[in-house]
Amino acid sequence: MAVASKKIPAPDLVEIKTALLSVSDKSGVVEFASALAARGIRLLSTGGTHKALADAGLQVTDVSAVTGFPEIMDGRVKTLHPKVHGGLLAIRDDEEHQVAMREHGIDGIDLAVINLYPFEEVRAAGGDYPTTVENIDIGGPAMIRAAAKNHAYVAVATDPEDYGAITEALDAGNGALPYALRETLAARAYARTAAYDAAISGWFAEALEIENPRHRTLGGTLRQEMRYGENPHQSAAFYVTGDKRPGVANAVQHQGKQLSYNNINDTDAAFELVAEFSPEIAPACAIIKHANPCGVARADTLVEAYHRALSCDNQSAFGGIVALNQTLDSETAGEIVKLFTEVIIAPDADEEAKAIIAAKKNLRLLTTGALPDPRAKGFNMKTVAGGFLVQGRDTAMIDEIELKVVTERAPSERELEDLKMAFAIAKHVKSNAIVYVKDGQTAGIGAGQMSRIDSARIAALKAEDAAKAAGWPEPMTRGSAVASEAFFPFADGLLSAVAAGATAVIQPGGSIRDQEVIDAANANGVAMVFTGTRTFRH
């Protein structure tokens, strides 16, 4: 429903005579308060903020001197008082409100500069239960909401980034702030308290292990506005939640232009995939295009892993994302820059590698400090018309799944390792997904087809193209292991994989035609194992 009018009855300009400052994040607050004082604005403050301003030589009144009541209960109660909230909520041109203010000695507060206890930071740092609870702010949100509701007469600042705009507006308005700015600040204020409460409710749900709370809220802070979304006609922005999971949201970007919507989406997919492979076991590389892998490989060295991943589909890799599970070294960096690549993401990069990447001004290098834990709980969200879907992160790990050999022939040790790798990769391929792996590298990947047999055929075709491009005598699917992220509903999908040269198969099982598929595998001397676990990715 459209709002009838943005503007409520209110003066366009409101003179700022008194400001209340109570901040946890004291960045820039002394400078801002000094600017207010220089403009003749009376300063009120509380606790640590009062001390910081007083120590800076500013004339500032403690709120307890206004309320006539001291801070009590370790500061839990200090601004929850009628003389504070009356000063924020009073309608200035309402005679009854003015009478109440005079009767009770309430002075108006025209500017509230409030930011909140660092709950999100304490939560992200893994604070214990009592410490986290103690960092739930009460008075701050109450004052913010009061000031924002009364934006017809009161301005509210909840972020140090707002300070500059306020001082500029005060100069332009000869000590008064315009309605448009007050309204904008009020909107930001409610968004801030909403995100704050979302973080608190999310923490409680985690602490109490409530998977599906009655009300689900998600808050985020704007990281960047983008030129467009997936397509040029779509608007887009990137918000961060404060979750410290290593990845694109918490990475350091060393160079290159701003990441696009598609860059961020693809880079996240690439890094989550490569994290499946422990750097303690072997270097690994994943190359991603449109959130699907073009190639994945493990090897004795990082540069070899890159070359092996690239060989699976070097055509699709053009303009893709390269994700590594170990520190990027100069040799690997030198090879990556030979092909146009959008983003490289790795836990770290040595100085020589950074220098090599720096020569490619449009290539972005991101370092994260660590790999995300593929076993860590979390959730994914997808919007639908009128709502959104929430599900737990897919934490299925092949090494923790009990495999069941269902054919006459069991896989060899080499086949079993390739089967496990193929299944781990298939978890990150859009369904329907078929992944061939041979000797620790992908041989062919079929993604996102409506028919599983089509995915198997596409993967085989990709392998044939790769063999021709590399001058190999035969495609790598010959003698490979193949994974399907869901069961084969008919034997035709398996037979297509067999025709491509696969000698071992891993799949969840569970079809009413499982025996038909098992019989087809036995008839062709193929080993097959069931996982009992499906890993759809839509």
Question: Of 52, 188, 226, 204, nearest to 123 (Cα)?
Answer: 204
**Are the CB atoms for 537 and 428 separated by under 8 Å?**
yes
How far is CA 121 from each of CA 113, 200, 346, rounded to the nearest angstrom? 20, 11, 25
The CA-based dihedral angle spanning residues 261, 267, 268, 269, taken in that order and rounded to the nearest 10 degrees: 110
Question: How remote is the C-alpha of 174 from its chain's centroid?
Answer: 43
* Active site (annotated) includes residue 149: yes
Region class of 207: left (phi > 0), else alpha (psi between -120 and 50), else beta? alpha
Half-sphere exposure in the Cβ direction for 57 (13 Å, CA) = 4
Beta bridge mates, 505: 482, 528
Question: Of 308, 310, 258, 304, nearest to 289 (Cα)?
Answer: 310
The active-site residue, picked from 17, 97, 244, 290, is 290
Tokens of 537: 């990715």
CB atoms within 10 A of CB 246: 18
User: What's the rounded Cα separation, in Å, for the pair 504 and 485?
Assistant: 15
User: What's the rounded Cα separation, in Å, for the pair 365 and 345?
Assistant: 6
User: What's the rounded Cα separation, in Å, for the pair 465 and 315?
Assistant: 9
The active-site residue, picked from 97, 149, 254, 354, is 149
User: What's the rounded Cα separation, in Å, for the pair 58 and 33?
Assistant: 8
- DSSP-derived letter for residue 6 is S
SS3 103: helix
**Are the CB atoms for 438 and 477 separated by under 8 Å?**
yes
CB atoms within 10 A of CB 26: 14
CB atoms within 10 A of CB 40: 9
- End-to-end Cα spacing for the chain: 33
SS3 72: strand
User: What's the rounded Cα separation, in Å, for the pair 435 and 425?
Assistant: 7
- DSSP-derived letter for residue 328 is B
* Active site (annotated) includes residue 215: no
Encode 72-109: b = buried (16+ Cβ within 10 Å), e = exposed. eeeeeebbebebbbbbbbbebeeeebeeebeeeebebb
How far is CA 259 from each of CA 53, 316, 365, 366, 519, rounded to the nearest angstrom? 39, 20, 11, 10, 50
Query: Which residues are marked as active site?
Result: 149, 290
